[in-house]
Amino acid sequence: MKEKVELQGKTIFITGAAGFIGSNLAKKILNEVKDIKVIGLDNMNDYYDVKIKEERLNELQKHNNFTFIKGNLADKELVMDIFKKYTPQIVVNLAAQAGVRYSIKNPDAYVESNLIGFFNLLEGCRNYPVEHLVYASSSSVYGSNKKVPYSTDDKVDNPVSLYAATKKSNELMAHSYSKLYNIPSTGLRFFTVYGPAGRPDMAYFGFTNKLRAGETIKIFNYGNCKRDFTYIDDIVEGVVRVMQKAPAKQNGEDGLPIPPYAIYNIGNNHPENLLDFVNILQEELIRAGVLPEDYDFEAHKELVPMQPGDVPVTYADTTPLEEEFGFKPSTPLREGLRKFAEWYKKFYM
């Protein structure tokens, strides 16, 4: 059962608003929904090039209905003040310390942002009730699961990185708050998001920087990794649809609330071989003029074994998303990488 959630005239609180997904989501709803107010929180940390975050933020600040707050989700007083002052009806949590490899070097950042920060948000939703809490989980929760495609019905008890463990914890925390306080919550397991003005720590972006600098790129698992690459516009469209349908509040036979709680995969449902992905990327970089016509790609790639914390394949079963929201990501890889290459050329060259 789903409750319809009207976006028009509402106040939406988006955390991670200067981030890749957060900024694209804010831009879409500000442009397309009447009388919507967006409160955006971001700590603007330097985990990656802050210039990209600032560029995304400048776009958003052109809108009168956008309010930006620079601050940290782990700051409970700040989070409570935002709920008290703006009383958002919908909360979308996209703030997180991202990245699997970084979690091996900097575990503290993940505990602060992904656990304490998320807890503060849940407390806000409890004290200032909301119509719908939507939050980012991750395909990394599937860990070393052998069964593909990954289904939200699968057990996810074997995380292979701290990042994955924090995301699984978010799902558990949301479930307990949904049960205890009847907070409608929906978790979204995103699969390898890419596109223009994306995250420089992602492989396609790092590959581009290295190829341009004439360095050699390492392709893990000898190129046999498969990833469900999902274009940013598809992710955002999915989030907007999910925001508008909250799990319905209902009581069980014991008279107590059945937790209004749901989880979906958002992925392309079409895993691509990493080697094919890199081939298309370099073709599009040449087409956009980022790399010269005669670029010797073969001389700049090296096939290497897997690294710790990585998984050989990610592949989303998106059937529930299709059935309940009539939506399935569909942007072809070449089209998505073309838009990235064109943006890269404009931003960096």
Answer whether residue 274 is part of any domain: no
Residues 6+ apart with CB under 8 A from 108: none
For 232-286, the pLDDT digits (tens) are 999 999 999 999 999 999 988 888 889 999 999 999 888 898 889 999 999 999 9
**Res. 98 pLDDT band, cuts 50 70 90:** low
- Return the bridge partners of 109, or none: none
State how far the Cα of 172 lies from the Cα of 143, in Å rounded to an integer. 16
Give 73's Cβ-side CA count (13 Å radius).
33
Residue 107: C-alpha distances to residues 167, 173, 177 (Å) = 13, 19, 25
pLDDT of residue 288: 97
Let me know if 177 is a catalytic residue. no
CB 123 within 8 A of CB 183: no
CATH number, domain with residue 151: 3.40.50.720
- At 115 the pLDDT is 94
Per-residue confidence (pLDDT) for residue 99, from 0 to 100: 65
Residue 13 lies in a domain: yes
Residue 222 pLDDT: 83
Highest mean pLDDT among 101-115, 132-146, 335-349: 335-349
Q: Parallel, antiparallel, or unpaired: how do β-strands 132-138 and 185-190 relate?
A: parallel
- Number of domains forming the structure of the chain: 1
Asked if residue 290 is part of any domain, the answer here is: no
Range of the domain at 322: 2-193+229-268+314-330
| DSSP track, 242-262 | HHTEEEPPEE-TTSSEEP-EE
Confidence class of residue 100 from pLDDT cuts 50, 70 and 90?
low
283 domain-assigned: no
Active-site residue among 142, 163, 177, 261?
163
Is position 340 within any domain?
A: no
In angstroms, the CA 303 to CA 318 distance is 31
For residue range 157-208, what is the model confidence (pLDDT) as tens digits?
A: 888 888 889 999 999 999 999 999 999 999 999 998 999 999 998 889 999 9
Region 124-148: mean pLDDT is: 92
Instruction: Establish if 339 belongs to a structural domain.
Output: no
Residues 6+ apart with CB under 8 A from 72: 43, 78, 112, 113, 117
